[in-house]
Amino acid sequence: MTARLAGIADAPADYERLGLSRSEIAPWEDGARTDDSPGTYEWWYFDAHLADGAKLVVSFMNKETIAEPKKPLAPVLRLGLDLADGRHFEKLVHYPASAWSAAKDHPDVRLGDNRFAGDLHSYRINATAEEISVDVTLTGEVPPWRPSTGYLLFGADRSLEFAWLPSVPQGAVTVRYSVAGEHHETTGVGYHDHNWGNVGLLKIVHNWYWARGQVGPYSVIASYITAAGAFGYEPIPIFMLARDNVLVGDDPARVSFERHGVYTDQATGKPVAATTRYVYSDGEDRYEVSFIRRRNLTADHLADSLKGFKRIAARLAHFDGAYLRFAGDIEISHHRSGELVESYQDEAIWELMYFGRARAQ
């Protein structure tokens, strides 16, 4: 039997090597997991759907790009804000290396006067990017979670790593934000995760769908990652479903992934599923989680975000990466012994990231 070239680290030896517990997540796991050296990258991410109709994204990143991690520490603040009136703001602010610090024993990241700090349950995020400023309090409702160890390993020797920790799969948010002196205060539902690695995602990932959502009593994190061709396009499903903040299931072996209504996106040329569906089967229980696209929020060629020589080099190398972000509906239904037990629907946002060229359908 041929050994898998890509997959989640979930063997007892993996937990022992990484110093992790199967049943508990410790505060240090959301602290700095790299030393910021060339060859590594790391970021802390937050997003929220707000009661006033706005959507907010904040990332503290130790490097601007995760495509090529060999560069030295070059921190950047990313802040995205979509307002209910249709205004869209996307900020990327660069800082000198001296402006960056990240504690190792707990989450406390500082980038100039900006700060992202917490304790796996309560977080405070302060960030300013040009005319946009935000002050966020996030309180976890669903406990911290990770898919097994949280490490995705690639290569025959399993030395290439990309790691992921959803520290707050779902939480309550209070936020004050301002846009050019226009002040708002509201509440909402938020999410925070933490990522790090030692290899550029361009080298290990072909594409991924990634989504999270909250509807009725359910919370879900769902992703379907396809490894790069060098790793056999190995599928890596990741799934977590909670009801009333209690875990229902997270075993990837019980998940099947479906794409429906696949079409070619005109802006990027990528095949896109109008509906993605994750089906989780556990004995007599079957849960279907569907994300149904209504419109694109973003459809960009990744090369367009590069500047100068890097952009020219990407074009010459025929780099064809793309990022798409969708708005639509999430539907969750629960069947037991073939009978519908309950069903819920709400709004959701999810993404499709392409690092490789589209494969033949």
Alpha-carbon distances of 168 from 142, 195, 350, rounded to whole Å: 7, 13, 17
- Best CA proximity match to 127, nearest among 174, 185, 74, 57: 57
Amino acid 361: pLDDT? 59
Domain check: are 157 and 117 in the same one? Answer: yes
At CA 194, angle to CA 192 and CA 196, rounded to 5? Answer: 165
Domain check: are 208 and 125 in the same one? Answer: no
Query: How many whole angstroms separate alpha carbon 163 and alpha carbon 150?
Result: 5
Residue 55 has pLDDT above 60, yes or no: yes
Residue with tokens 């950047």: 76
Identify the domain boundary among 166, 198, 230.
198
Q: What is the amino acid identity at position 157?
A: D
- Which pTM does this prediction carry? 0.91
Domain check: are 186 and 211 in the same one? Answer: no
**What are phi and psi for residue 227, nearest 5 degrees?**
-65, 160
Query: How many whole angstroms separate alpha carbon 84 and alpha carbon 67?
Result: 32
Q: Which residues of 310-333 are buried (b: 16+ CB within 10 A; e: fewer)?
A: eeeebeeeebbbbbbbbbbbbbbb
Cα 275 to the center of its chain, rounded Å: 19
Domain check: are 162 and 222 in the same one? Answer: no
Domain check: are 119 and 148 in the same one? Answer: yes
Domain check: are 131 and 21 in the same one? Answer: yes
Confidence of residue 312 (pLDDT cuts 50, 70, 90): very low
Give the least confident one: 99-103, 218-222, 267-271: 267-271
Amino acid 314: pLDDT? 38
* Average model confidence (pLDDT) across the chain: 92
Write the CB contacts of 135 (distance below 8 Å, at least 6 apart in sequence).
124, 125, 126, 175, 176, 177
Identify the domain boundary among 177, 198, 219.
198
Write the CB contacts of 118 (distance below 8 Å, at least 6 apart in sequence).
30, 106, 107, 108, 124, 138, 167, 192
Residue with tokens 């990241």: 109
Domain check: are 184 and 297 in the same one? Answer: no
Handedness of CA 68, 69, 75, 78 (dihedral sign): positive
Helices (H), 174-228: 201-204
Domain check: are 25 and 43 in the same one? Answer: yes
Range of the domain at 357: 200-361
Q: How many domains does the chain have?
A: 2
CATH number, domain of 148, equals 2.40.370.10
Query: How many whole angstroms separate alpha carbon 208 and alpha carbon 350?
Result: 11
Confidence of residue 67 (pLDDT cuts 50, 70, 90): low
**What is the SS3 string spanning 279-307?**
EEEECCEEEEEEEEEEEEEEEEEHHHHCC
Domain check: are 239 and 344 in the same one? Answer: yes
Domain check: are 94 and 139 in the same one? Answer: yes
Query: How many whole angstroms separate alpha carbon 168 and alpha carbon 5?
Result: 30
Q: For residue 252, give both structure tokens.
A: 């990837």
Judging by beta carbons within 10 Å of its beta carbon (0-12, 13-18, 19+), is residue 285 exposed, middle or buried? Answer: middle
Q: For residue 329, give both structure tokens.
A: 């509906």
134: three-class secondary structure by DSSP: strand
Identify the domain boundary among 170, 198, 226.
198
Domain check: are 204 and 63 in the same one? Answer: no
Domain check: are 213 and 106 in the same one? Answer: no
pLDDT digit string (tens) for 143-199? Answer: 999 999 999 999 999 999 999 999 999 999 999 999 999 999 999 999 999 999 999
Confidence of residue 277 (pLDDT cuts 50, 70, 90): very high
Amino acid 42: pLDDT? 97
